Amino acid sequence: MADPEVMGDPIAVYGRAREQSPVVRLVAPGFGAIWAVTRHQDAKALLNDSRLAMTADSWNQRVPEDIRPYMMTMSHMDGPEQARLRKLALHSFTARRAAARRPLVERVTDRLLDELPQHAENGSVDLLKHFTQLLPAHVVGEVVGIPEPERPLWRKHISEMGAGGRRYDEALRAVIRNAKEVIALRREEPGDDLVSDLLRAQAEDKDRITDTEMVTMVWHTVLAGQDNLANFIANSVVSLLSHPDQLAAVREDYGLMPRALEELMRWRPPLLLTAIRYVREDFELCGVPVKKGDSAVAVIASANRDPRAFPDPDRLDIRRPAGTSVQFGFGHGPHYCIGASLAFAESEVALTALLRRFPDLALAVPPEEVPRLPNPGSWHLTALPVTF
């Protein structure tokens, strides 16, 4: 996975692998060898298979002991414990509460778009820095219960976590401290937010949540609701601006946006691989014997473009008929993202407002020159220069 070709164009490489075999072996620095399922039907089965377990080692968390207790997120659990925490969190992410927050999303979007022209340098603006990163950070801050003055600091620490190594450790320590401060504040000043909901449940001893679990849920919710969504919106902008026919179709009928978002997530998801699952017992995975303790992932990037599930899969088509095949950008099964409804609402508001406000919006560089992190597991931009 450290091969330059994989780092440079992972979607193409995973696609070629898919057509050679339904399961391949990934060799990843720091992880060892990983079984990787490449095709849509098999990926769906893997994500629902109880013989594969999520654990605290599902991500490469070689972190100091003081941080490890806060690494056991819902994404690293299965069974009753995962279901217990998921049930507690879902209350803050219902369709009703997502709809109630839409006016907030619209207000923040309008304010950020008003400010965009003043950030222009040499005729272009970095849309990632001045829009797509700011909107999700503000909204998830509101959802969690983070005071507005503290949200830029959270955004800074979350961004630093992407650097890995010692910077990751220090940034995570900072967000853990910040999470503890938010929890202490909401004990004194409860509101309509996730932390207040969790504190009320804790006080009622209802599906009791520990303080450590609460801190973990807070920082992980901010990470998931900020980083990945910012990159999904940014990726969607690049995809639309580099496909003029699809851009014209959206502008002709903004009612297509919900369907377009599903297609955009299929086409260019921010995460290209699922979190690692560990084999609980010996069995055959796509005809290949796997042993207890082996690790496995589903390759979102290849499953989302599997011709067995999607006709003409390498073509971006925002009018693609809704069928039985689902894209895996938000996961699938027990670990399907609880914030997906809110994320789609934010994306719909953001993209619709952006395209309406700036009818001459264009990339300031060719699509292939839009800078991104060289990473085989994600499609995250480092900047998004555009002109108006």
Are 196 and 189 within 8 A, CB to CB?
A: no
Give the residue among 110, 148, 102, 156 at the shortest CA–CA distance from 131.
110
Q: Which of 2-16, 52-66, 88-102, 164-178 has the lowest mean pLDDT?
A: 52-66
Mean pLDDT calculated for residue range 264-269: 96
**Total-model pTM:** 0.91
pLDDT at 163: 63
Q: Provide the pLDDT for residue 62.
A: 61
pLDDT at 370: 97
Question: What is the pLDDT of the chain when averaged over all its residues?
Answer: 90
Residue bearing tokens 């449940």: 201
pLDDT confidence tier of residue 323, bands split at 50, 70 and 90: low
H or E stretch at 387: strand 385-387
Task: Tell me how far apart the alpha carbons of residues 333 and 340 are, in angstroms, rounded to a whole number.
Answer: 13
Q: What is the pLDDT of residue 333?
A: 79
Please say if the pLDDT value at position 56 is more than 90: no
Q: How many CA atoms lie within 13 A of 270 on its CB side?
A: 20
Q: What pLDDT, on a 0 to 100 scale, did the predictor assign at position 383?
A: 96
Name the residue ranges covered by the structural domains of the chain: 4-387
CATH superfamily of 4-387: Cytochrome P450 (1.10.630.10)
Asked whether residue 307 carries a pLDDT value surpassing 50, the answer given is yes
State yes or no: pLDDT of 162 exceeds 70.
Answer: no
Question: Which among 280, 332, 260, 279 has a CA at the least distance from the CA of 303?
Answer: 332
pLDDT above 70 as % of the chain: 95
Handedness of CA 367, 371, 374, 377 (dihedral sign): negative
Q: What is the pLDDT of residue 165?
A: 67
- Evaluate the CA torsion angle 17, 20, 24, 29 in order and state its sign: negative
pLDDT of res. 263:
96
Residue-level pLDDT at 60: 46
Q: What is the mean pLDDT of residues 242-249?
A: 98
